[in-house]
Chain A
C-alpha cells in the first residue's frame, strides 16, 4: 500500500514545470512518503534547493521552502538549521548544482556534519539550460556541449562525500522508488549530514542526444545496467546497519547505503557551546 502524500504537495501550484518522462517526480514521491512515514509535521519541514530542474521541486512541497542560488543551497541550509535546529531540513540539488558550482559547499557541509538530508538528483546532464554536460556525465556520452562525446571523466559524488567526512552516504535510482523510500527514511533518521544520490533520467536532453529513448526506456536501462543492484534492492540487503554488507557495484557506481558513521553533529556542538557560555 503506497501512502497518499498529496497533502505534502501544493496542488494549487500544479501543473509543474517538469517535462513528460522526467524521473524527478518519482524521486520526490519517494522522499515525501519517507517524510510521511516518519511523521514529520509540515510546519517543521524545510526544503532548501539550489538552481536547476530538480531544485524547482521545492516550490511544490507544502512546507517552509527556500529556493536559493546556483550551488549554494547547502550553505543557506546550514544557516537555517543552525538557527532552527528543531526543523527537519531537506536539501534538493542536482548534479551540476551540487557537484559542480556547489561542490565546495557539499564537501564542507559533509565535513561539518550538519544534520541535513541532501538529495542529489543525478541525471548526468544540465536540463534547465539545455542539455550541457554535467560533472556526472560519463566519458563519451553526448551532450549539447559535447557533440563529439564528453572528453572528461565523471565524478562519483558518494565517494566524494564519504571522503569529505559525510556520515551517511547512499545511492538509489528512480527505477526503484520503494528502495529509494527506504533509503530516504534512513537518511532522514540519521543524526548528521546524510547524502543520497539518486539516478534519475532526462529524456528530453540526455536520452535524446544519446539515443536512449524516452522516460520508460531510460528507467528500464537503469534496471538493465544495474541488474546486480536490482537484485540487492529486491532482497533489501542494501540496508546494512553495521556497514558490513557489501554494496552493489556495477558500471563503476555503487548502490545502496554505502557508508554510515557517527560523529558529533555540528548544530548540537554549536548550541552546546552557546549553552555553556563559550567554555568547554
Chain B
C-alpha cells in the first residue's frame, strides 16, 4: 500500500520506474538528474534488477536498447548536454522501434550552460533532436507525484507504441520535495524481476508489420524467434530495403503511429477555461506559477484560464484549436526563448493572439510576470502585434 512520503522529484522518478517493472538502468552522471541514477543504483539490485554506470550517454541509451531487446524494461536519465549525446540513439530506438524510457531533467543551456539552474530549453530538442523524421512521445510532469505517475506510465506507452518515451522536466521539479504516494521497497521487492511477455509467434515473425496502426508486440531476443533489427530503413521483415515504395510506406506509418492523446488520462489539464478570454499555456514548474497567476487574475476580475499539457509531443492540437476558436489570447509561459510557444502559434494559426512570456536567466518564472502578461492581453482590444516579454 502506497503511503505519502516527502520526497524529491528525482526520487519519485526512480520509484515510478521500478514500480512499473523497470529492471535495467544504464546512465552517466549529470546534474540535475544524478539522484535518479543514485536512487536506481540503490533500488534495482534489491528488486532483482541491474544498474550499470556506462562510459557516456551514447553507451547509456545503447545499453538500454540492448536490455530492452533482451526483455527488460529499461531507463536512463540525463540533462541537456547528455540529452544531446543521446539523440543518436533516440533516433535509433525510434526507427528500430525498441521501447525505452529517457528522463531529461532540464538545466539552462546551451552547452554546459548554467549548471544547474532550471530551464525548459530542451523542448524542441526533444522533438527534433535527431536527424530525419520520426515520432516522439514526450511527457511533462509538473510536480513530484506526477513525476512518479508519468514515469511509470512512460513504460506502458513505450511498450504499446514500441518507441522511446521521454520524461521531460525541469530542475525545480527534479529537486523540489513534495508529498507523494510511493510504494514501499518491500512491496517492489516481492514483484521480483519482470520481463516483457513475448507474444506467441506464428512463423515468420514480422516485427514491423503494423496492425491497427501500431507495430506488433516485440518478441525479446532469446525467446526462440530469430529476426533482424537495424537502424537502416527496413521493410516489415526488419531487413534493409531500398525500394522507394517500401521506404515511403515504412516512414509514413512510423510517423503516424502515435496519436495526439496516446492514452487515457494524458489529455491536457484545463483549469477555468470554460469562459476564459485569456488562456495561459504552461508546463512543468512554470505551470504551477501559471496556475497561481490565473487564480490571481480571476480574483481581480479577469477571465483567465490555464492549459497545461501533460504530453508536449505530440502537441494537443485538437484542444488548442478548439480553445483558439473562442478565446482572445494565449499567454505561453516557458523558461526558454519560446520553444513551445512557436508550436502554439502554429496550431492557433492567427485565430487568437499568442503572447510569449519567456525567461532564460536561470530562475523560475514567477506568477507576477505571467499575471502582468495576462492583464495586458486581457486589456487589449483587437489583434495587435503581440508584445513579447523577455526578462
Contacts known (A64-B227, A274-B48, A278-B42); A69 close to B92, Cβ less than 8 A: yes
- Which single member of A46, A63, A108, A276 contacts B59 (CB below 8 Å)? A108
State the CA gap A159–B232 with chains docked (Å): 33
Are A104 and B55 touching (Cβ within 8 A)?
yes
**A100 interface contact, C-beta 8 A:** no
Q: Across the interface, which residues of B come within 8 angstroms of A242, CB to CB?
A: none
State the CA gap A122–B91 with chains docked (Å): 28
Are B45 and A277 touching (Cβ within 8 A)?
yes
Interchain nearest-CB distance for A55 vs B (Å)? 10
Chain B residues 44-80 with CB under 8 Å of chain A are: 44-46, 48-52, 54-56, 58-60, 62-72, 74
**B26 interface contact, C-beta 8 A:** yes
Q: Across the interface, which residues of A come within 8 angstroms of B220, CB to CB?
A: 84
State the CA gap A13–B220 with chains docked (Å): 22
Are A79 and B62 touching (Cβ within 8 A)?
yes
> For chain B, which range describes its interface: under 10, 10 to 19, 20 to 34, or 35 or more residues?
35 or more
Contacts known (A79-B70, A83-B72); A67 close to B65, Cβ less than 8 A: no
Are B46 and A277 touching (Cβ within 8 A)?
yes
State the CA gap A139–B45 with chains docked (Å): 49
What residue of chain A has the Cβ atom nearest to residue B189's Cβ? A277
What residue of chain B has the Cβ atom nearest to residue A105's Cβ? B59
What residue of chain B has the Cβ atom nearest to residue A47's Cβ? B228
What residue of chain A has the Cβ atom nearest to residue B74's Cβ? A79
Q: Across the interface, which residues of B come within 8 angstroms of A62, CB to CB?
A: 226
A57-99 interface bits toward B, Cβ cutoff 8 Å, 1 = contact, 0 = none: 0110011111111001001111111111011000000000000
- Which single member of A67, A69, A72, A105 contacts B228 (CB below 8 Å)? A67
**A154 interface contact, C-beta 8 A:** no
Chain B facing A: main interface SS:
mixed
What residue of chain B has the Cβ atom nearest to residue A67's Cβ? B230
**A271 interface contact, C-beta 8 A:** yes
Q: Across the interface, which residues of B come within 8 angstroms of A81, CB to CB?
A: 66, 70
Q: Across the interface, which residues of B come within 8 angstroms of A208, CB to CB?
A: none
**A43 interface contact, C-beta 8 A:** yes
B214-241 interface bits toward A, Cβ cutoff 8 Å, 1 = contact, 0 = none: 0000001110111111111000000110
- Which single member of A13, A59, A68, A278 contacts B62 (CB below 8 Å)? A68
Chain B residues 207-266 with CB under 8 Å of chain A are: 220-222, 224-232, 239-240
What residue of chain A has the Cβ atom nearest to residue B195's Cβ? A83
- Which single member of B50, B64, B231 contacts A67 (CB below 8 Å)? B231
Are A83 and B226 touching (Cβ within 8 A)?
no
Q: Across the interface, which residues of B come within 8 angstroms of A48, CB to CB?
A: 66
Q: Which residues of B contact A (CB under 8 A)?
A: 24, 26, 42, 44-46, 48-52, 54-56, 58-60, 62-72, 74, 88-89, 92, 189, 193, 220-222, 224-232, 239-240
Q: Could you list 10 further interchain pairs (A-B, Cβ under 8 angstroms) beyond the known A66-B66, A104-B56, A274-B50?
A: A44-B222, A63-B226, A66-B221, A66-B230, A75-B66, A79-B67, A82-B66, A270-B51, A274-B48, A278-B45
Q: Which residues of A contact B (CB under 8 A)?
A: 13, 42-44, 46, 48, 58-59, 62-69, 72, 75-84, 86-87, 104-105, 107-108, 270-271, 273-278
